[in-house]
Amino acid sequence: MNAPQHASLIGQRIPKMDAPEKVAGKTRYIQDLNLPGQLYGLILRTERVHARIVSIDTSAAKALPGVRAVLTAADVPIHPIGVNKDNPPLKGDKVRCERDEVAAVAADSLEIAQAAIKLIKVEYEDLPPIFDPRDSIKDGAPVIHAAKPDNVAMAFDYAHGDVERGEAESDVVVEDEFTLHRVTHCCMGVSGVIADFEPVSGNLTLYSNTQVPFLHKREFAEVLGMDPSRIRIIQPPIGGGFGSKLDIYPFEPIAVYLAKATRRPVKLIFTREEEFIASPTRQPAIIRLRSGAKKDGTLTFRTVDVLLDNGGYTSWGATIPFVMMQTFSSLYRVPHCRYHTKAVYTNNPFAGSFRGYGNLQATFAIEQQMDKMADALGIEPYEFRLKNAQNAGEVTGQGMHFKTCGFQDCLETAAGRSGFVEKRKALGAAKGLSGVRRGVGMASMLHVGGGAKIYPSDGCGTILKLDDFGHVTIMTGASEIGQGSETVLAQLVCEELGVPMSAVTVVNNDTDITPWDVGVHASRTTFIAGNSAIGAARKAKDKILAAAATVSNMKAEEMDLKGGNIVRASDGEKVMPLAKMLRQLHFSDKAELVMTTNYYEPPSVHQDKGFKGDVSAAYAWATQVVEVEVDTDTGIVKLLKVWAAHDVGRVLNEMGIEGQIEGGIIMGQGYALCEDMPVVEGHLVNPAFRDYKLITAPEIPEMDISFIETMDGEGPQGAKGVGEAPSICMAAAVANAIENATGVRIASLPFTPERVYSALKGRPL
Amino acid sequence: MTAIERYLAPAGLDDALAALAGGNATILAGGTDLMPQINAGKVAFRPILLNIRRIPELRAVEVGQGRISIGALVTINELKDNPVIAKAVPLLAEAADHFASDQVRNMGTIGGNVANASPAGDTLVPLLVLDAEVELASATGRRSVPMAEFFTGPGRSVRRPDELITALSLPLPRLRTVSRFVKFGTRPALDISAVSIGFSATLDGGRLSDVRVAFGAVGPVPMRGRATEAVLEGAALDAAIIAKAAATAQGEVKPIDDLRASAWYRRELIHNLLGKVLSDVVSR
């Protein structure tokens, strides 16, 4: 009766499946791929920031031996890309920012392409530029896109309740302006594509780093005027995404144009400098926030006015106001809220999508102001937050329904483990402007944790097959971009089918094989693709157990799959090996293979025109407390420790989720303390890691990570998405900690030593 | 596009000096400054690329007659790890520990750091306060130039195109010498100084003598702080003298605004950090 006990894989520490190859340097990224007969593509960028193109002379470049094609806008169909259709891959009439593509070369070698680019002569007539988004909306401002004469790329208005009434009921009203800077993803794998156009069949194969292959395929078909079914996207292992690969960018259609023109495969890979200049950034924002509360600490209203610097073109990133408004309207219970955002064109580098998607900016504003309001009310900031924090069951003014909500647990856990209240009081009493001071700060966040129904479908498909030996292949639409999704999907399937991790292969990188998925964004993959994979596995299990019932004396529901065997559910007693059952099915009169499909669509809804609706199937929460040391002689802020409490629904892979949270904290730390892209008159000043300061190993703080498991009813095994959440709170928490240490509140980022020192000296930057 | 016509890698110094005689050679040692500058288009190769890394005598470290000679090809990591250097001039070994990354330190050389003449060069401020001399050789002769007279501007020095830096020669510090090096950047590793400060003096009976102060990244060249030295020479380090020295230093540096820091902030840092350095000297 001593049947083997098979421990659940859920919550275990499981190394990522792709880790050994990566650690051994064996992973073949797009840089390592070469096709027979391949040419090298290179783009000529304008370096002007706003100018009319008078003429382009490519004759000398075309005459250079080894050059196979030189293209300008005159040679290709005019089909602008991007969410506003405002970005022609090759610019014909005018250029709007320094990265703009004016010509492209395909040559036998990169060196020849580089030489050819230098031979292209472009004549420009400069136009008056705009560098400050506040100037974009002034009367008489230069027009950047003729189709948008007011320079407004997108505008969003949202309201619930009656803010005038809320303000009338307020005992304390606080208003602030926050200024957020420009940073970029710094993926270790730079952008690149190989376009392989087969002239005979008309098929186009793209080797691409995209994180949204199916949307990509559709947009490519539109841009190229092709039948989408002729386009196949294969993703080599991707060296990081973080949102940077959510859009189609000009270099991708350009590579296809070059491949079509030359009838040869064209490889186009960015240099690191190009990656800095020509890949997207996080949105710089100016946020004016006004909030009120009653004496007892109840929030009464909030009005928000946000100005986003869109840069020269519009990417998906211009839709970050969707996410920002969730934080303003629904992180805390606010009875009355009004929100207005404009994303305006400037001649700066253009902004895109980035992990956190507007929430870092919104949380920076709201969580600093919560501290200020608490001080104005004479209430401890932790108590003030707890009093207004959302609870399970709440439906917010924006229509978000928090079926599970660990916010108050996150607050209590982070505060309790850090000793926040006592520390803040003691350090605050000693705050000052000399010597080395310490402070603690707290911030919390709300983010979608069960997908986001923005596209017509937020679903993901899975095809699952078992071979004659019990090996499982999962074909999923969900891309792996380093976040660990293939491991967690394999784990969820193993849990259902009772097989070890070694019995699973995940295929997730070929649109000709894998079923549709909307893409890697909105922290959705574990939740959506996980539910899809579980569904496919359950169908397979049903089929296997039904077959087992025909050859045993048990009913299907009396059996289970464990340890590679079909077992009796009641006591785990082995009935027969799984592989034997699979072979019996296959090589019998039935002649069946176990292959299943599943498409999971989350039970969320599209927002209405007023941006109301329960847009995600679950919501993630977190509170982070930081302790910092401020050297008032230099302005250096040292991050000593982070206490992070996250409502993750349930931990699936403890090692994976720790990695996500640690990485997110460090990304948030970089945003808070040192990463910056100074742009002077439209030109990026520091396109290199020498001067773009990422966090290095000695600066990484001690971390105390707590998981709040709310066991979400819709989540896969109870889990919620967590990909973006850990980066969101850091800047706000550090700002509050600096105030606790020094008494000085800084409303603009990043907290570089000079910015902090200037603020301590009362000197405007 | 490169215009290298000949690549030479001589094993002897005389051959290298002969190749340099025409003044049309680019010298390659560690390449950690040269190659990024070439790649960025800031420097162009001359017709001859002269690799000096096979010349053994440029690697020598020798102590004698009250001085230490450090060959131009000694790498930054060797400065840090060589026990002879660490014993004779610990300040230099300490500065090497603040230098870039291990990868750069494995390749970058002390001669290259001097030849590059960056106002922010990490070994230059310690070499200044250690009173180093730059040993130069050409086909026509040899000469020594004191560090304080070597630099003429950012990236420029008195070294002629036909001259090679062969070594740095430093007097061995006297007994009771105290020395300090502070590099300030925005992060603890892999950073280029916003400012740096070197200090060396003999501390005897509570009084300072033979005071040398130098500053990096606060002017067109790494500079000696002569006015600050004058305040400290012969003085007992009390709070008033420290304050006066810090204020003098703040006044005598000539920083500019750039990507890494504003001139105002650099002056503030010089004031505050020199004060910290001197207070630290007192407390030991």
Taking an 8 Å cut-off on Cβ atoms, the answer to whether B186 and A674 are in contact is: yes
Element (H, E) at B64: strand B61-64
> Is residue A423, in this structure, part of any structural domain at all?
yes
**Given the DSSP bridges, would you call strands A51-57 and A121-126 parallel, antiparallel or unpaired?**
antiparallel
Check residue A526 and report its DSSP letter. Answer: I
pLDDT value at position B188?
80
Of the partner residues A115, A685, A699, the one whose CB lies closest to the CB of residue B259: A685
- Rounded CA-CA distance B197/A434 in Å is 21
Model confidence at A194, in pLDDT bands (50, 70, 90)? very high
Asked if A340 and A425 sit in the same domain, the reply is yes
Asked if residue B114 is part of any domain, the answer here is yes
Task: Count other Cβ atoms within 10 Å, centred on residue A126.
Answer: 11
Element spanning A680, H or E: strand A679-680
Q: What is the domain range of residue A106?
A: 37-127+190-238+245-278
Looking up tokens 């303000």, which residue turns up? A167
Could you give the CA distance from residue B102 to residue B80 in angstroms, rounded to a whole number?
A: 11
Taking the CA of residue A669 and the nearest CA in chain B, the distance in Å comes to 13
Tell me whether residue A225 is in a domain.
Answer: yes
Q: Compute the mean pLDDT over every residue in chain A, rounded to the nearest whole number.
A: 96
Whether residue A63 lies inside any domain: the answer is yes
Both B129 and B205 in one domain: the answer is no
> Averaged over A310-325, what is the pLDDT?
94
Q: What is the ipTM of this complex?
A: 0.94
Shared domain check, B186 and B279: yes
Helix axes A381-388, A407-418, angle to 10 degrees: 160
The residue of chain A nearest to residue B265, with distances taken between CA atoms, is A754
Query: Which of the four pLDDT bands, split at 50, 70 and 90, describes residue A5?
Result: low
Is residue A1 scored above 50 in pLDDT? no
Per-residue pLDDT of chain B (284 residues; tens, 9 = 90+): 457 999 999 999 999 999 999 989 999 999 999 999 998 889 999 999 999 999 999 999 999 999 999 999 999 999 999 999 999 999 999 999 988 899 999 999 999 999 999 999 999 999 999 999 999 999 999 999 999 999 999 999 999 999 999 999 999 998 899 999 999 988 887 888 889 999 999 999 889 999 999 999 999 999 999 999 999 999 999 999 999 999 999 999 999 999 889 999 999 999 999 999 999 998 87
Residues B196, B155 within the same domain: no
Neighboring chain B residues of A757 at a CB cutoff of 8 Å: 265, 268
Q: Is residue A136 part of a domain?
A: no
Query: Which pLDDT score is estimated for B191?
Result: 84
Structural domain contains residue B1 = no
Split into its structural domains, chain B has a count of 3
Q: Do A634 and B184 touch (CB under 8 A)?
A: yes
% of chain A exceeding 70 in pLDDT = 99
Nearest by CB to residue B186, choosing from A678, A753, A761, is: A753
Are residues A464 and A448 part of one domain?
Answer: no
Boundary (domain end) residue, out of A600, A623, A649: A600
CATH number at B207 reads: 3.30.390.50
Is the pLDDT at A764 greater than 90, yes or no? no
Give the model confidence (pLDDT) of A588-620 as tens digits.
Answer: 888 999 999 999 999 999 999 999 999 999 999
The domain that holds B19 is classified in CATH as 3.30.43
Asked whether the predicted pLDDT for residue A696 surpasses 80, the reply is: yes
A596 and A638 part of one domain? no
Q: How far is CA A569 from CA A38, A72, A620, in A?
A: 57, 67, 34
Does B199 lie in the same domain as B143?
A: no
**Neighboring chain A residues of B192 at a CB cutoff of 8 Å:** 690-691
Q: From residue A400, how far is each of A310, A340, A616 by CA, in Å? A: 28, 19, 8
Cβ count within 10 A of residue A314: 27
Are both B83 and B114 inside the same structural domain? Answer: yes
Nearest alpha carbon to residue A739 among A443, A439, A444, A442? A439
In this structure, the answer to whether residues B181 and B166 fall within a common structural domain is no
Is the same domain home to B113 and B196? no
* CATH code: domain of residue A85: 3.90.1170.50
Look at residue B2 in the predicted model and tell me its pLDDT: 56
Q: Residue B89 sits in which domain range?
A: 56-171
Q: Quick check: A3 pLDDT over 60?
A: no
| Residue A8 is assigned to a structural domain of this protein | no
How far does B265 lie from chain A, in Å, by closest CA?
Answer: 7
Task: Return d(Cα B93, Cα B90) in angstroms, integer.
Answer: 5
From the candidates A634, A683, A690, which should be mutated to test the interface with B, based on the most B CB atoms within 10 A? A634
pLDDT bracket for residue A4 (50, 70, 90) = low
A422 and A273 inside one domain: no
Q: How far apart are CA A176 and CA A672, in angstroms?
A: 19
Residues of A in contact with B275 (CB under 8 A): 633
pLDDT tens column, A44-72: 999 899 999 999 999 999 999 999 999 99
Q: How far is B221 from chain A (nearest CA, A)?
A: 21
C-alpha span between A596 and A538 (Å, rounded): 9
Contacts of A754 in chain B (CB under 8 A): 261-262, 265
pLDDT of residue A590: 83
Question: How many CB atoms within 10 Å of residue A270?
Answer: 19
In a domain, B61, yes or no: yes
Whether A7 is in a domain gets the answer no
User: b/e map of B17-29 (b: 16 or more CB within 10 Å)?
Assistant: bebbeeeebbbbb
The reply to whether A353 and A212 lie within a common domain is no
**pLDDT digit string (tens) for A553-581?**
999 999 999 999 999 999 999 999 999 99
Q: Specify whether B189 is located in the same domain as B242.
A: yes
Q: What is the pLDDT of residue A2?
A: 47
pLDDT value for A199: 86
Are A225 and A293 found together in one domain?
no
Question: Are residues B47 and B60 located together in one domain of the fold?
Answer: no
For residue A295, the domain's CATH number is 3.30.365.10
Distance CA A227, CA A217 (A): 10
pLDDT in tens, A429-446: 999 999 999 999 999 999
Q: If DSSP states are collapsed to H, E and C, what string results for A605-658?
A: CCCCCCCCCCCCCCEEEEEEEEEEEEECCCCEEEEEEEEEEEECCCCCEHHHHH
Asked if pLDDT for residue A484 goes beyond 90, the answer is yes
Residue A169, strand partner residues: none
Same domain, B27 and B122: no
Identify the bridge partners of residue B146 per DSSP, sorted by sequence position: B133
The answer as to whether A629 is a domain residue is yes
Residue A579 sits in the same domain as residue A704: no
H/E stretch holding B127 reads helix B124-129
**Residues A528/A534/A540/A543 CA torsion (nearest 10 deg):** -110
Q: What is the pLDDT of residue A106?
A: 98
d(CA A337, CA B89): 66
Residues B26 and B130 in one domain: no
Residue that terminates a domain, selected from B128, B154, B171: B171
Q: Is there a single domain that holds both residue B131 and residue B227?
A: no
Q: Is A207 helix (H, G, I), strand (E, B) or coil?
A: strand
- Number of domains forming the structure of chain A: 3
Tell me, what's the pLDDT at A676? 97
Same domain, A441 and A297: yes
pLDDT value at position B189?
77
Residues A292 and A336 reside in one and the same domain: yes
Same domain, A695 and A711: yes
What whole-number distance in Å separates Cα of residue A604 and Cα of residue B22? 77
In this prediction, residue B284 carries a pLDDT of 75
Write out pLDDT tens, residues B100-118: 899 999 999 999 999 999 9
Q: Which residues of B, range 152-191, sit inside 8 Å of A by Cβ?
A: 184, 186-191
3-state secondary structure of A45: strand
User: Is B221 an 8 Å CB contact of chain A?
Assistant: no
Nearest Cα residue in chain B from A632: B272
Cβ-based interface (< 8 Å): residues of A facing B: 115, 633-634, 636, 674, 678, 685-686, 690-691, 693, 695-699, 752-754, 757-758, 761, 763
Instruction: Assess if residue A1 is contained within a domain.
Output: no
**What is the nearest CA distance from A695 to chain B, expressed in angstroms?**
8
Two tokens, residue A610: 């007023």
B25-43 pLDDT, tens per residue? 999 999 999 999 998 889 9
**How close B27 gets to chain A, by Cα (Å)?**
24
Boundary (domain end) residue, out of B171, B195, B210: B171
**Mean pLDDT value across residues A536-563:** 97
pLDDT of residue B1: 44
B28, B58 contact by CB (below 8 A): no
Nearest to B33 by CA among B94, B89, B111, B96: B111
Q: A696 vs B184: CB contact, 8 Å cut-off?
A: no
